[in-house]
Amino acid sequence: MMEELRCIGCGAVIQTEDKDALGYLPSGALKKKIENDEDLYCQRCFRLRHYNEIAPTALTDEDFLKLLEKIGKQNALVVNVVDIFDFNGSLIPNLHKLTGNNDLLMVANKRDILPKSLKVNKMTNWLKEQAAKSGLKPKEIRVVSAKNRDDVIDLMGTIEHYRKGRNVYVVGVTNVGKSTLINAIIKQASGSQDVITTSRFPGTTLDMIEIPLDAKTAIIDTPGIIHRGQMAHYLAPEDLKYVSPRKEIKPKTYQLNKGQTLFFGGLARFDFIEGEKQGFTGYFDNEINVHRTKLEGATELYEKHAGELLAPALVGAKMVRKEFKVAEKTDIVFSGLGWVRVPERAIVAAWVPEGVDVVKRKALI
């Protein structure tokens, strides 16, 4: 029997029949690669690596849930990777139910994006509170950057400590940096580079990948779950950089009077409706263009200039408004794009393209 061939990018079984399904590789290309003893990538991962093309993922939500249920039936350590820059957009619905009684380690990734002045302790406490709100009781929360070698080495030690000889399942929604982290772990463990596909395109890790830890157990990387409220799912490939900042974000404070509006590109809008004059702080990618204007006339401005003065924008998308009453230091979060910190009592409104989540939470900073 022929050995099962797998894509070294996404882990899918290589097949030559269905070009819309996982692991497709034209038979000619497969033959050539085998003859030349080249690394096997499915067509999708190959394109992603070489041309940064985007292709839709073929796994359904239902498949993802089945996968998590399977994990729940085993005795394993579950590692949930979340993005500190997009905590709300990182949550897997019902994770606590689906992973059964397994121990949970939460890894909050991308700490390099948040201001260095923010202490890890403070972040951890905040994360603990937020996790508890969604029913999660992790054994520990580690704040890391997948791009920092020391963080990765430390994390491997923590995983070793909690796994107690068991398998480790790494779960997370797409775009939190799970593949980057797994790659960094493999690199540390074996010295090989970038064997798993990483990219800014959400939904690029398919099927499961196993990294052996010893003769019997392994770290198992599972496909990313799509959290549809994330801004990333609505953006054109060239605009994804705004939801995956590469550098530490520099917060910017705007002194606003009531009746003023801020546009973050054309993707998010923040209205200050009622309250004393105060300083609102935006935590967004440094390159996002912020435009301040009068609340009165903001809608007309958007209709006229979305995609030009107010760019990037989802031209044609309906902008949806949500109003918030704030009593104390609060973040108004535009899922994946960033947030505005409101320091004190105010009534504000947040606008995003329809489908993107907006939430209010206790201020992180």
Q: How far apart are CA 105 and CA 144, in angstroms?
A: 13
What's the longest Cα–Cα distance across the chain?
A: 74
- Our CB check for ligand GDP shows the closer of 187 and 200 to be 200
Task: For the segment 263-282, give every residue that binds ligand GDP (CB under 6 A).
Answer: none
CA angle 320, 129, 284 (to 5 degrees): 45
Q: Which stretch, 64-72, 125-133, 176-184, 302-310, contacts ligand GDP (CB under 6 A)?
A: 176-184
- Our CB check for ligand GDP shows the closer of 224 and 282 to be 224
Q: Is 57 in the site for ligand GDP (CB under 6 A)?
A: no
Q: Is 89 in the site for ligand GDP (CB under 6 A)?
A: no
- Our CB check for ligand GDP shows the closer of 167 and 174 to be 174
Q: Is 146 in the site for ligand GDP (CB under 6 A)?
A: yes
Choosing from 88, 199, 260, 330, the residue that interacts with ligand GDP (CB under 6 A) is 199
- Our CB check for ligand GDP shows the closer of 77 and 176 to be 176
In angstroms, what is the minimal distance from the CB of 353 to ligand GDP? 20
Residue closest to ligand GDP (Cβ)? 177
Q: Is the dihedral of CA 308, 301, 357, 340 positive or negative?
A: positive
Q: Is 90 in the site for ligand GDP (CB under 6 A)?
A: no
User: Is 7:14 a contact under the CB 8 Å cutoff?
Assistant: yes
Sheet holding 252-256, edge to edge: 252-256, 278-284, 338-342, 330-334, 358-362
Chain centroid to Cα 334, Å, comes to: 13
Q: Is 44 in the site for ligand GDP (CB under 6 A)?
A: no
Identify the CA nearest to 60 among candidates 230, 206, 188.
206
Choosing from 178, 227, 233, 291, the residue that interacts with ligand GDP (CB under 6 A) is 178
Q: How far apart are CA 198 and CA 335, in angstroms?
A: 21
Strand locations in 156-216 (E)? 167-171, 209-212
In angstroms, what is the minimal distance from the CB of 174 to ligand GDP? 4
In angstroms, what is the minimal distance from the CB of 56 to ligand GDP? 14
Choosing from 99, 167, 180, 261, the residue that interacts with ligand GDP (CB under 6 A) is 180
Q: Is 335 in the site for ligand GDP (CB under 6 A)?
A: no
Choosing from 23, 177, 223, 353, the residue that interacts with ligand GDP (CB under 6 A) is 177
Q: Is 198 in the site for ligand GDP (CB under 6 A)?
A: yes
Q: Which stretch, 44-52, 95-103, 142-150, 273-281, contacts ligand GDP (CB under 6 A)?
A: 142-150
In angstroms, what is the minimal distance from the CB of 57 to ligand GDP? 10
Chain centroid to Cα 229, Å, comes to: 11
C-alpha count within 13 angstroms, C-beta hemisphere, residue 62: 0
Site string for ligand GDP, 209-228 (x = CB under 6 A): ---------------x----
Looking at beta carbons, which pairs linking 134-140 to residues 24 or more positions away fall under 8 Å? Answer: 134/91, 134/95, 134/96, 135/96, 135/97, 136/80, 136/95, 136/96, 136/104, 136/106, 137/96, 137/104, 138/80, 138/104, 138/105, 138/106, 139/103, 139/104, 139/105, 140/105, 140/106
* Interface contacts to ligand GDP, rule CB under 6 A: 109-110, 112-113, 145-147, 172, 174-180, 198-200, 204-205, 224, 244, 246
